[in-house]
Amino acid sequence: MASNVEAPESWYLALLGFAEHFRTSSPPKIRLCVHCLQAVFQFKPPQRVEARTHLQLGSVLYHHTKNSELARSHLEKAWLISQQIPQFEDVKFEAASLLSELYCQQVPNLVDSAKPLLRKAIQISQQTPYWHCRLLFQLAQLHTLEKDLVSACDLLGVGAEYARVVGSEYTSILLLLMERKLGEVHPLLTLCGTIVENWQGNPIQKESLRVFFLVLQVTHYLDAGQVKSVKPCLKQLQQCIQTISTLHDDEILPSNPADLFHWLPKEHMCVLKYTDKALMQLEKLKMLDSSPILSTFQVILLEHIIMCRLVTGHKATALQEISQVCQLCQQSPRLFTNHAAQLHTLLGLYCISVNCMDNAEAQFTAALRLTTHQELWAFIVTNLASVYIREGNRHQELYSLLERINPDHNFPVSSHCLRAAAFYIRGLLSFFQGRYNEAKRFLRETLKMSNAEDLNRLTACSLVLLGHIFYVLGNHRESNNMVVPAMQLASKIPDMSVQLWSSALLKDLNKALGNTIDAHEAAQMHQNFSQQLLQDHIAACSLPEHNLISWTDGPPPGQFQAQNGPTTSLASLL
């Protein structure tokens, strides 16, 4: 009899052991792992074993195969059976969590099935702090992805109060930091900053909360276009990440199960401290970790690197990096949905840099169609307005855009930087129309705003344009007072286009003033900048990726036909 009682446990453990062996083999033998788990059902196991095995099969199939229908079937059975078994929280809530995640990943996604599932799991998990908080996080994230920030904030507020009641101040702070009630950002950040500093707890958890707080603060300042104001926060963030990278993980788990969360793994946080090595670090992490946040980091980092490349005159490299973003987006539909507008915006900026104005207009129009983000919308409209000004024959469209980004009246976003840029665009239009006094007023407003927040590129552009106005008006001394600091600032950035523009103006200015040597030196500089930009222009337009400028709809193309040579005019660079 004794052997008969022990037999079921023996066969179960044997099959489980084989399944785990095959799952962790290198490479994993998933088919054999699945066979072992499926064999469990042949023995008519008790309900607990049956539910757990359905969960294990669903998890393996979901994470290691493309058979989402079979994974879904097993997870649904695990959820259904586990609800009938008392004291079976881990299987019950893990099944609910994984099943709702799978619903959201399916095409077409079944978000409407995921929400009630998560709500029911949240309702019955109140006596299990870890799972109750985790499921609240998950439902809040789902609402965030749907842009339903009100519902997400409400859930995070409920979670923060629940964590406080069950004695988890750490998770309560974490949830408070996640609340993004837009009208209350500043007071909420101030409150959270005080709470984080006063909290006495695990050093790694405290530093993790501090990093999260500072990341939010940096994001808040950057969204507001306040580059100068963000610098102290960035320095603090760098110091915090340095500190956390030297701390050893505490092997002892927190005694309160509601504390078993972190905002970001320590290894992922450390990516934030890198600059030029960040992409390499991300590639290393992606070899060990398939977390989708790493690809998101990579895309965001590349987007900013691309903008820098275009400013510094490295168009060919920028184009190859845009292609890299396309490839990353091809691997993840969600990543593409979240970054399609940014991708078309980057292509629009690239088109401007190679003087393909029709393509730039098409790219910016595609980006406007895809974005609901107010700051990105204002950025795109500002750049599209600059395209219309350069084309010189799109007056109706241009005035329609300018009405929507009027910096003097009801500017649509709170960004200091974008409002300063809107003044510059007005100044640029007035300059081309020969209304110099009006242009000077707009450009002085730009200068005032850009100097206040160290917006160096806007400052340099405004100075050189003012210099141009004074040169046209015959005020050579005042023109010189503008263009010399513009050149110095452009060299510091370095901004190749502004340096080219400044050197051309300096050459004409010194010639007019009779400064032959200075005029010759400026002419030589202009020649050098022209050559560098022309070579880069030819290299960029010859790349097969240059064909991306024609892509304006649907997913990014996978293959590119090689170009025979540059297809755009180089005259605008001379």
At residue 13, the 3 state secondary structure works out as helix
pLDDT value at position 560?
61
pLDDT value at position 4?
38
What's at 478, amino acid-wise?
E
At residue 84, the 3 state secondary structure works out as coil
pLDDT value at position 183?
53
Q: Specify whether the CB–CB gap between 82 and 88 falls below 8 A.
A: yes
pLDDT value at position 503?
96
pLDDT value at position 558?
72
Phi, psi dihedrals of residue 411, rounded to the nearest 5°: -65, 135
- CA angle (521 as vertex; 520, 526 as ends), nearest 5: 95
At residue 85, the 3 state secondary structure works out as coil
Whether residue 265 has a cis bond before it, omega within 30° of 0: no
The token pair that represents 484 in the structure block: 């010399």
- CA angle (75 as vertex; 70, 80 as ends), nearest 5: 130
Find all residues with CB under 8 Å of 169, minimum gap 6, and list them: 163, 199, 201
* Separation between Cα atoms, residue 54 and residue 85, nearest integer Å: 14
pLDDT value at position 174?
81
One-character DSSP codes across 245-259: HHSPPPSSPPSSGGG
pLDDT tens by residue, the chain, 574 residues: 333 334 457 888 889 899 999 988 888 899 999 999 999 999 889 999 999 999 999 999 998 888 999 999 999 999 999 999 998 999 999 999 999 999 988 767 788 899 999 999 999 999 999 999 999 999 998 998 888 888 988 898 898 899 889 888 888 888 877 765 545 666 777 777 888 888 887 788 888 888 888 888 888 888 888 889 889 988 998 888 888 888 776 555 677 777 777 777 777 777 776 666 788 888 888 777 777 888 888 999 999 999 999 999 999 999 999 999 999 998 888 899 999 999 999 999 999 999 999 999 999 999 999 998 899 999 999 999 999 999 988 899 999 999 999 999 889 888 999 999 999 999 999 999 999 999 999 999 999 999 999 999 999 999 999 999 999 999 999 999 999 999 999 999 999 999 999 999 999 999 998 999 999 999 999 999 999 999 999 999 999 999 999 999 998 887 665 554 444 444 443 3
Burial of 157 (0-12, 13-18, 19+ CB in 10 A): middle
pTM: 0.80
* Separation between Cα atoms, residue 416 and residue 224, nearest integer Å: 6
Domains and CATH numbers, the chain: 19-124 (1.25.40), 406-542 (1.25.40.10)
Q: Specify whether the CB–CB gap between 105 and 99 falls below 8 A.
A: no
The token pair that represents 179 in the structure block: 């609340």
